[in-house]
Each structure stands twice: as structure tokens, then as C-alpha cells.
């Protein structure tokens, strides 16, 4: 075994694990690792100017590529700055190895500046968290971290890297990677039980979650949905395309309101959830989102999600791509001729209802096309008409996203990414990571103005590395989602029309000037025609560009 330094061993192990990119923002405790990067030719280092940016870039890369992403942060403040975006990555199940430099271990007893015990800080938001205390343990622990991040259900892990571990040398066996097979098939008896319920359903409904996209099971879910004639909704906070948006059974995302959800679910007798979160809601309500009489079949790769909030009549632990074909075959075998005929009628009726609803939505959007300031729905419709077929849409428009899932094309598992965890500021940096993972596809990021300011430093990284993302700012000069919700309370703010801490004007933020100062070409659009012309130009150029679009401020 060769004598090798910890810093070189760490990079060699990452290469064994298939790592191609490390996202980071270095400090003094990472200097040994940065020295190793000076002679590293196989792993690309991408610099972000703030740790939240770095973390969200890695999250986007991991989601889009399905590969392990690696993040390197700077001790306690660096890890602290990244925590909001680490929460989003946890909720998205992104396979990420998060590392942070730590002081030399024999120095830590003095409690040096920036020092804290790092693993407990990260632990609530990761699958596994630890610190390497002996150079001899580095190969074992790095391989263990990578294996754990990629094992189903995937998710981030954390390792603290003390400076002495990286600087010291030793005879090391670098060991080899381990991969846990992901194609877990559901229990046969559970599949048969679920098939009987779904085969006899009179008014079934399907909720498709991120596990469908992550296992690349869109075609398998389409086959099952068509067989039973069930409309398909995206989960409430969906960050991936879990069902083709052009399919006549796709109804988009439900409003995240218990009352609105209950009206939909009361029309159905069986809910089949495929990897969906049941349910991540924003605010409490007196109305339950589902009736106790609604029968539930739940398939997920994560046992924690099965029956988490509502009892499932049948809970199947399994990967959607591996399990859905067996379930579809079992349903088909269990359906008598009358049930098959009824399912075909449901398929026809659901398809016609979806078509009518989509035509109504498009007509409404087009009726708003001449208004100024621009209406968000009109802008989304206009963008949908000019997007290339292989475009990737990254959405963090928050209060302006109504109709987006139905109007914007998202046909494959890598065509759409949204804010899964709810911690805003994710969209801009995530889109950079997504573009690094998918360099041959056009990527457009749709972001609210409030969200953009959390991680505006992202633009510098896009400029430095020439990452061709088109950033579109839906600018209503406010935190409009908060204004909507406080208005709904009908309290003092609604009575006085005064929304403290929710206005982003006086002065307005100059996004065009900000973008240019960070090296990204930018322009302002006041009309729909100006916006679409600029967006089309940006997409054709395959270079970073920001378009600031003035949209309507109304929220009531």
C-alpha cells in the first residue's frame, strides 16, 4: 500500500465513487484540501460565494444527475449558512456528501475561533453524521458515507474533516465502493391485496410523488393509470416531473389547502399514492384533507412515509419502477370484463375533463396577455409556447406558480424541478447545478424576486463558469405569498391594507444592475412581448442571462 496524504486519499476515494464535481466555499480549515485540488485534473471544483448557494447547487446537481454530489464547507459558520438549503436537500432526498473542514484535533481543546462540534449540528438534517478521528479510518468512513447517501431512500450525509487528517500521511488501503441495489420489489402478498382494491375501485385517484421520477418510472405509472382510468395529481410540493404533463390524465398539482383538497378527494373512493407525501401542508385547518372513508393504497421506497399521517389499507415498501409493472399485471388479472369496461369509461371521461380544464386555463391566460403589469399566468403561458421540447424548467415562483404544472411541458423525469423543502432561495443555485448535470439541455429558472435575493450571489458562479441558465425574475416587489396569507386572516393588516415586512420597494431592487455587477447580462421586461423575446434570446445563446419581469402586485 502506498504512502499517501489524507487530502490526496480523500480525492482518490471520491473518484472511486464516481464523483465528478465538488461544490465549495473554502476557508482556513480547508486549505490542505484546496492545495490538493491544485494538482487534481479529474474532479471539477465549482466555487460559490456563500454556503447556501453551494449547498443548493449540489442539490440541483444531485437531483438532475442521480449521481453523488459533494459539498465542502468551512467549519461552523459555513455549515450554519448551508443549513436552510440542506433542509431542502433532505426533503428532496438528494444524495449528497456534505463535508466541513475542522481544526486540527490537538488544537480543538483550546476552543479556537469558528470551532464547534460539527456532527451534532448537521445530524437532524442528514441520514448519517460523523467526524474522522484517525487517518486510518478515512477510507472506511468516506466509502460508508457515499454508500449511505446513495442507498434508498437517498439523502444527504455529513462528515467532518479535521485538518490533521487531511495533512498527515500513512500507508492506506483505499478500499472500494459499495452500492446498495435500488430496485426493491414490493411484497407479493401486498401487491395482490392492493390489486384487488384498485381493480374494484369505482372512482380511483392517483397522487404521483418524487419517487416516481427518481426511479424513472413515468411510463410504468402511465400504464397503471390508464388501466384503471384514474386522474393523476402531482404531490402538493412536487420537485420533479412524476407524470407526463401532456398526458390527458394529468391534472397538475392540487392547491395546498385542506378545504380545496377535500373537495377533490370526496369525489373518489380509493387513493393510490405512489411515492407521494401525504400531506405536507402550510397551515392548520379545521377540515381534514381526506375523509376517513377514503381507502388508501400507498407505495413508497421510504418506510417512514407509509401510513405516516393517514392509515393505509395496503402499504407497499418498494421501488416504483420495480413494483408498478407487477401491480399493473395483478390489477389486470383481477379486473372482470365489467370493471375493465368501467375503467375505459373513466379514462375517457377523465381525459375529456382534463382537456376542457386545460383549454379553459389557456383561454384565461391568453385573455390576460395584454395587461400591464404582466399577469403571472399570462407569462407562464407565453413561456410555455417558446420553450424547446427538451427544456428543463426550474421553478421557485412561489405565489406566481398557478397553472405552471399544466401549462409548461414536462415529459420526462429530468424536465422539471421545484422547491421541495420550502426553504426559499433554492431556485437560482439549484438551476446552476442542474445545468452542470445536464449540459446539453436548455435550462430556465423561474424565480420570485424575494427568493432570488436570498442567493443572488449564484449569478457570479454562472458567469465565472459560463453556465448557460436563463434566469427569469417574476418581480412583484413584495413577499406576495405572505401578503396573501395574512390578508386571509382578515386581521389588522387586511383592515388597514398595511403589510409590515412584506414590501420590497422604496427602494426597488435593481436586479438588472445586480446581475451585470456579477458578470451576467441582464435586461428588464415591462410587456409580455418584451419578456418572451428576451427569454428566447437567452435560450438560443446558451449563456447565463437574467430577465427581470415586472408582474402584477395584486394578491387579494
User: Which pLDDT does position 84 carry in this prediction?
Assistant: 97
| Alpha helices in 497-527, H assignment, sequence order | 511-517
Task: Tell how strand 522-525 and strand 545-550 pair up.
Answer: parallel
Instruction: For residue 457, count other CB atoms closer than 10 A to its CB.
Output: 18
Indicate if the pLDDT at residue 151 is higher than 90: yes
Which residues sit opposite 273 in a β-bridge? 207, 298
Q: What is the CATH number of domain 368-550?
A: 3.40.50.970
User: Which pLDDT does position 2 carry in this prediction?
Assistant: 81
User: Within the chain, which residue ranges are assigned CATH 3.40.50.970?
Assistant: 3-171, 368-550
Which of 418, 383, 390, 432 is closest to 532 using CA atoms? 383
User: Which pLDDT does position 1 carry in this prediction?
Assistant: 65
Which of 174, 158, 125, 157 is closest to 6 using CA atoms? 174
DSSP 187-237: PHHHHHHHHHHHHH-SSEEEEE-HHHHHTT-HHHHHHHHHHHT--EEE-TT
- How big is the chain, counted in residues? 556
Fold of 3-171: Rossmann fold (3.40.50)
Task: Kindly report, residue by residue over 451-470, the tens digit of the pLDDT.
Answer: 999 999 999 999 999 999 99
User: Which pLDDT does position 283 carry in this prediction?
Assistant: 83
Mean pLDDT of 194-199: 98
Q: What are the residues whose beta carbons fall under 8 Å from the beta carbon of 303, sequence distance 6 or more? A: 317
Question: How far is it, in rounded angstroms, from Cα 163 to Cα 142?
Answer: 16
Its pTM stands at: 0.96
Angle (CA) 59-217-262 rounded to 5° is 85
Which of 519, 515, 532, 362 is closest to 444 using CA atoms? 532
What the block records as the C-alpha cell of 118 is 460539527
Question: How far is it, in rounded angstroms, from Cα 1 to Cα 170?
Answer: 9
Mean pLDDT of 162-181: 96
Indicate if the pLDDT at residue 280 is higher than 90: no
Mean pLDDT of 228-251: 93
Indicate if the pLDDT at residue 238 is higher than 80: no
3-class secondary structure, 410: coil
Indicate if the pLDDT at residue 323 is higher than 80: yes
What the block records as the C-alpha cell of 175 is 478500499
What the block records as the C-alpha cell of 10 is 480523500
User: Within the chain, which residue ranges are assigned CATH 3.40.50.1220?
Assistant: 188-351
Sheet holding 443-448, edge to edge: 416-418, 392-396, 443-448, 469-475, 545-550, 522-525
The pLDDT > 90 percentage for the chain reads: 91
Task: Kindly report, residue by residue over 419-433, the tens digit of the pLDDT.
Answer: 989 999 999 999 999
Question: How far is it, in rounded angstroms, from Cα 76 to Cα 162?
Answer: 12
Location of C-alpha cell 399577469: 375
Fold of 188-351: Rossmann fold (3.40.50)
Question: How far is it, in rounded angstroms, from Cα 228 to Cα 216?
Answer: 21
3-state SS of 349-418?
A: HHHHHHHHHHHHHHHHHHHCCCCCCECHHHHHHHHHHHCCCCCEEEEECHHHCCCHHHHCCCCCCCCEEE
| Cβ proximity of 110 and 103 under 8 Å | no
Question: How far is it, in rounded angstroms, from Cα 485 to Cα 53?
Answer: 28
Amino acid at each position: 500500500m502506498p504512502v499517501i496524504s489524507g487530502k490526496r486519499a480523500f480525492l482518490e476515494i471520491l473518484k472511486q465513487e464516481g464523483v465528478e464535481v465538488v461544490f465549495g466555499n473554502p476557508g482556513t480549515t480547508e486549505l490542505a484540501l484546496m492545495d490538493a485540488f491544485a494538482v487534481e485534473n479529474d474532479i471539477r471544483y465549482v466555487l460559490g460565494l456563500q454556503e447556501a448557494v453551494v449547498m443548493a447547487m449540489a442539490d440541483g446537481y444531485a437531483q438532475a444527475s442521480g449521481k453523488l454530489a459533494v459539498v465542502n464547507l468551512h467549519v461552523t459558520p459555513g455549515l450554519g449558512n448551508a443549513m436552510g438549503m440542506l433542509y431542502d436537500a433532505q426533503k428532496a432526498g438528494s444524495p449528497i456528501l456534505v463535508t466541513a473542514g475542522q481544526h486540527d484535533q490537538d488544537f480543538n481543546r483550546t476552543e479556537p475561533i469558528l470551532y464547534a462540534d460539527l456532527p451534532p449540528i448537521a445530524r437532524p438534517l442528514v441520514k448519517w453524521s460523523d467526524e474522522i478521528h484517525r487517518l486510518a479510518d478515512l477510507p472506511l468512513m468516506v466509502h460508508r458515507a457515499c454508500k449511505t447517501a446513495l442507498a434508498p431512500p437517498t439523502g444527504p450525509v455529513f462528515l467532518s474533516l479535521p485538518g490533521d487528517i487531511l495533512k498527515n500521511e500513512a500507508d492506506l488501503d483505499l478500499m472500494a465502493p459499495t452500492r446498495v441495489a435500488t430496485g426493491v420489489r414490493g411484497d407479493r402478498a401486498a401487491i395482490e391485496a392492493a390489486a384487488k382494491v384498485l381493480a374494484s375501485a369505482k372512482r380511483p385517484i392517483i397522487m404521483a410523488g418524487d419517487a416516481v421520477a427518481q426511479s424513472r418510472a413515468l411510463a410504468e405509472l402511465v400504464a397503471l393509470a390508464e388501466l384503471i382510468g384514474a386522474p393523476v395529481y402531482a404531490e402538493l410540493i412536487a420537485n420533479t416531473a412524476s407524470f407526463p404533463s401532456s398526458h390527458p390524465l394529468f391534472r397538475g398539482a392540487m392547491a395546498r389547502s385542506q378545504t380545496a383538497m377535500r373537495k377533490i378527494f370526496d369525489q373518489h373512493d380509493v387513493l393510490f399514492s405512489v411515492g407521494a407525501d401525504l400531506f405536507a401542508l402550510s397551515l392548520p385547518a379545521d377540515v381534514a384533507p381526506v375523509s376517513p372513508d377514503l381507502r388508501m393504497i400507498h407505495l413508497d421506497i421510504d418506510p417512514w412515509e407509509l401510513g405516516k399521517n393517514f392509515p393505509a389499507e395496503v402499504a407497499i415498501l418498494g421501488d416504483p419502477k420495480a413494483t408498478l409493472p407487477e401491480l399493473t399485471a395483478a390489477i389486470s388479472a383481477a379486473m372482470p370484463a365489467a370493471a375493465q369496461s368501467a375503467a375505459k369509461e373513466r379514462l375517457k371521461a377523465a381525459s375529456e375533463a382534463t382537456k376542457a380544464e386545460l383549454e379553459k386555463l389557456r383561454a384565461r391566460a391568453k385573455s390576460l396577455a395584454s395587461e400591464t403589469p404582466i399577469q403571472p399566468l399570462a407569462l407562464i403561458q407565453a413561456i410555455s409556447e417558446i420553450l424547446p421540447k427538451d427544456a428543463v424548467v426550474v421553478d421557485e415562483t412561489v405565489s406566481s406558480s398557478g397553472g405552471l404544472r399544466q401549462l409548461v411541458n414536462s415529459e420526462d423525469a429530468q424536465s422539471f424541478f421545484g422547491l421541495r423543502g420550502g426553504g426559499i432561495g433554492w431556485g437560482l443555485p439549484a438551476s446552476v447545478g442542474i445545468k452542470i448535470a445536464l449540459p446539453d439541455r436548455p435550462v430556465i429558472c423561474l424565480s420570485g424576486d424575494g427568493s432570488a435575493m436570498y442567493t443572488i450571489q449564484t449569478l457570479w458562479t454562472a458567469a465565472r463558469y459560463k453556465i448557460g441558465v436563463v434566469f427569469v425574475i417574476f418581480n412583484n416587489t413584495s413577499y406576495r405569498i405572505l401578503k396573501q396569507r395574512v390578508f386571509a386572516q382578515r386581521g389588522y393588516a387586511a383592515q388597514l391594507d398595511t403589510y409590515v415586512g412584506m414590501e420590497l420597494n422604496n427602494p426597488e431592487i435593481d436586479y438588472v444592475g445586480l446581475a451585470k455587477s456579477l458578470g451576467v447580462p441582464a435586461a428588464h421586461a415591462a410587456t409580455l412581448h418584451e419578456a418572451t423575446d428576451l427569454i428566447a434570446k437567452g435560450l438560443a445563446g446558451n449563456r447565463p442571462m437574467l430577465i427581470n419581469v415586472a408582474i402584477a402586485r395584486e394578491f387579494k
